[in-house]
Amino acid sequence: MHHLLRGLPFAACALLALARPAGAQANEVPHIETKGARHALIVDGAPFLMLGAQINNSSSWPAAMPGVWPAMEAMHVNTVEAPIGWEQIEPEEGHFDCAAVDLLLEQARAHKVRLVLLWFATWKNTNPQYAPSWVKLDNARFPRMRRADGTFHYALSPFAAATLAADSKAFAALMRHLREVDPQNTVIMVQVENEPGTYGLARDHSPEANKAFAGPVPEALRKRTGKGPGSWSALYGRDAELYFHAWSIARYIDQVAAAGKAEKPLPMYVNAALPGSPFTWQDPATYASGGPANTVIEVYKAAAPHLDLVAPDIYTTAHKDYTGFLDSYERADNALFVPETGHARDYARFFFEAVGRGAIGWSPFGIDRLRYLPSYPLTSKLNDEALAPFAANYALFGQLARLWPRWALAGKTWGAAESEDPADGHRQVLDLGRYRAEVSFGRGDWGAGEAKGNDWPKGGVAIAEIAPDEYLVTGHFARVEFALRDPARANLILDRVEEGHYNDAGNWVFERVWNGDQVDWGLNFTAANQVLHVKLASYPIR
């Protein structure tokens, strides 16, 4: 049926509405819920933690699917992030073809996983390469940005009304199709564009852009940044071009998102190519200027109300930088989500850090068996051995995918990832309120030995408060020791440490009590997937 539909006019995507599965009911559309500074992705009416993996850029074609699913199964994901290119669904103007979407939906359902679709359109890593030929080859109708000397840059201009209209129309067709054929919400979130912006150019210098840059800063932005009226240069100085470009691209993407949301209001976000460090200023022309980098989150918040969140693609294994980027995106007005991170083994530990902070999802990039040359900085060879640390995390958290995000939304979760920097002492202290949890790495198998760090940075811990004085504790390659925040007032005692697991109904299934050697030197996590319930108590000092 799919190939028969290829090339049919506009209705071809919508026609597939006839393919609605018998008896499928329209369920509550996924959305983001916020409580205080924490957030949850609500799927089927309840919080859902995305244990994700993103397939390679060229892997969402029907012929590639057999190379996708074995990797997803090995990794125990519950969510697959898959691109849908504009060229795939509108190869000729006005002729829509959603066959690739339908196959993804069908196979995701068969594998009992959810989808995040990535709309590769005007900007994919800033480039228009996923726009159909009728767009990317028609520079008169769909103009590129200009450099200061008037020459064309490779990226499409956000000031071109025709490009915005065409992208919005195609995206709306995709979202309308989802409304028609996905009442059960297999697709739970949509990324609008991919790492937008420009490399090697801080902002567009087309005549329209120059006119806007010379004009006043829009009120929504200057109020948000606490400024009175003025020009971009007067208000933002060194950052004027960066802010202007981010505003221009964010306004464009917001309108694409709005067109899609009018058809089906799924949560929508944009991902960011980040500068080299979260701590130092970098010339915007040296990174993806205009994208939702950590430097311009305020601009995106002011410019793009139809985006539920902006999200960092984190490709550094340096603990300080990774956690620095998480700090930037973990905000009361922005749900933390890591839609891309590296799949080399040193990245796996950051899963614990992210979910501890209440991330709604986390997803290594480039997961499938399609034998592409790994792209920088993805250097690991993708086989089951390389995926093992990630697979172990997801096997551990599969049972918690519905429970963890409830505790996270309530602000009752904490996490730690091992730092590779010896200056950090191979220890971290988590502040749980009444209690502290000291997490240390590389203590040896047993005993009071110094924390030396693991043979490679592989340790991680996640803790949730599940009842007063009661904590769920889990992790890999780490020791956890509890202490009272104020040890002068009472002595801490472990009342009971249970190991167990959660069954499919979400109920705790007790397996055994850890005591004696298993608690005398802290709670020690190895490669084994172990979940503990720890009940703390105290007795008086005198």
Phi first, then psi: give them for residue 250, nearest 5 degrees: -65, -40
Residue 375 binding ligand DGJ, by CB under 6 A: yes
* Least distance between ligand DGJ and beta carbon 81 (Å): 10
* Least distance between ligand DGJ and beta carbon 368 (Å): 13
- CA distances to 43, 56, 93, 360 from 46, rounded to whole Å, are 5, 30, 39, 12
Cα distance between residue 395 and residue 74, in whole Å: 10
What is the residue-wise DSSP string for 477-536? SEEEEEEES-TTT-EEEEEEEEEEEE-TTS-EEEEEEE-THHHHTBEEE-SS--EEEEEE
- The interface with ligand DGJ within residues 135-174 (CB under 6 A) comprises none
Identity of the residue numbered 79: T
Residue 122 binding ligand DGJ, by CB under 6 A: no
Identity of the residue numbered 413: T
Comparison of 278 and 342: residue with beta carbon closer to ligand DGJ: 342
Q: Tell me the angle at which helices 240-263 and 207-214 cross, rounded to the nearest 10 degrees.
A: 110
Comparison of 206 and 341: residue with beta carbon closer to ligand DGJ: 341
- The interface with ligand DGJ within residues 10-69 (CB under 6 A) comprises 57
Q: Select from 125, 341, 399, 474 the one that contacts ligand DGJ (CB under 6 A).
A: 125
Comparison of 230 and 377: residue with beta carbon closer to ligand DGJ: 377
SS3 label, residue 193: strand
Element housing 79 (H / E): strand 79-85
* Least distance between ligand DGJ and beta carbon 195 (Å): 4
Comparison of 125 and 413: residue with beta carbon closer to ligand DGJ: 125
* Least distance between ligand DGJ and beta carbon 271 (Å): 6
Comparison of 57 and 289: residue with beta carbon closer to ligand DGJ: 57
Q: Taking the CA atoms of 155, 159, 162 and 168 in sequence, report the sign of the dihedral they define.
A: positive
* Least distance between ligand DGJ and beta carbon 57 (Å): 5
* Least distance between ligand DGJ and beta carbon 130 (Å): 10
Identity of the residue numbered 321: D
Number of residues counted as binding ligand DGJ (CB under 6 A): 8
- CA distances to 38, 182, 184, 338, 529 from 29, rounded to whole Å, are 20, 10, 9, 22, 33
Comparison of 273 and 403: residue with beta carbon closer to ligand DGJ: 273
* Least distance between ligand DGJ and beta carbon 148 (Å): 27
Q: Select from 157, 186, 194, 289 the one that contacts ligand DGJ (CB under 6 A).
A: 194
* Least distance between ligand DGJ and beta carbon 304 (Å): 18
Cα distance between residue 390 and residue 396, in whole Å: 10
Comparison of 130 and 243: residue with beta carbon closer to ligand DGJ: 130
**Residue with token string 């499938």:** 368
CB atoms inside a 10 Å sphere around CB 313: 22
Comparison of 194 and 206: residue with beta carbon closer to ligand DGJ: 194
Comparison of 57 and 413: residue with beta carbon closer to ligand DGJ: 57
Element housing 436 (H / E): strand 435-440
Residue 195 binding ligand DGJ, by CB under 6 A: yes
Which residue's CB comes closest to ligand DGJ? 375
Q: Which residues pair with 532 in a beta bridge?
A: 473, 499
* Least distance between ligand DGJ and beta carbon 471 (Å): 36
- The interface with ligand DGJ within residues 323-352 (CB under 6 A) comprises 340
- The interface with ligand DGJ within residues 236-265 (CB under 6 A) comprises none
Comparison of 254 and 313: residue with beta carbon closer to ligand DGJ: 313
- CA angle 502/503/507 to nearest 5° reads 65
* Least distance between ligand DGJ and beta carbon 378 (Å): 6
As a dihedral over the C-alpha atoms of residue 72, residue 74, residue 75, residue 79, rounded to 10 degrees, the angle is 30
Which residues lie near ligand DGJ (CB under 6 A)? 57, 125, 194-195, 313, 340, 365, 375
